[in-house]
């Protein structure tokens, strides 16, 4: 729990954490996922995360029809001390998501994608995704 202390001088000191972080990253991600599900944000998958001394901040994207919709994303920060959610942003999700979300038709098959990889590179996995481009347009990507 955070504390705000009034010292003898008219200065406020904010001490948000008391101990060293104990929560492993995977547990923080699980906690963030549970938080989202509790709010009704289902079919969300972590697509990236950042770890600091005291926080794990993760970006989750909506998954529909086995396609990742990056524009439909939320961000959750979890304290590594205690596992509490300390920050949540759903702006992108609320601006972009609809219940009738579809990915459209892919122009490239996953089995053909390896031919487009740079020489000497081998694709270990492939997944379709919808991404945003400048101007607010959405594109399908592999």
How far is residue 119 from each of residues 109, 114, 116, 122, 123, measured CA to CA in Å?
19, 10, 9, 8, 11
Alpha carbon separation from 8 to 3, 11, 13 (Å, rounded): 16, 8, 11
Decide if pLDDT at 4 tops 70. Answer: no
Q: Can you tell me whether residue 33 is helix, strand or coil?
A: helix
Q: Is 95 helix (H, G, I), strand (E, B) or coil?
A: helix
pLDDT at 19: 65
Q: Residue 14: its pLDDT value, please?
A: 52
Using a pLDDT cut of 90, give the percent of the chain over it.
Answer: 47
What are the pLDDT digits (tens) for 23-72?
999 999 999 999 999 999 999 999 999 999 889 999 999 999 889 999 99
Name residue, tokens 């459209």: 104
């Amino acid at each position: 729990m955070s504390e705000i202390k009034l010292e003898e001088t008219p200065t406020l000191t904010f001490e948000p954490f008391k101990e060293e972080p104990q929560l492993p990253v995977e547990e923080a991600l699980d906690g963030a996922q549970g938080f989202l599900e509790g709010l009704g944000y289902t079919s969300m998958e972590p697509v990236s995360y950042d770890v600091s001394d005291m926080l794990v901040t993760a970006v989750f994207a909506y998954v529909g029809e086995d396609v990742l919709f990056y524009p439909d994303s939320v961000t959750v920060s979890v304290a590594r001390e205690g596992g509490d959610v300390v920050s949540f942003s759903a702006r992108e999700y609320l601006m972009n998501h609809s219940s009738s979300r579809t990915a459209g038709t892919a122009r490239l098959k996953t089995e053909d994608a390896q031919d487009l990889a740079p020489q000497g590179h081998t694709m270990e996995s492939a997944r379709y995704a919808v991404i945003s481009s400048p101007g607010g347009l959405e594109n399908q990507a592999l």
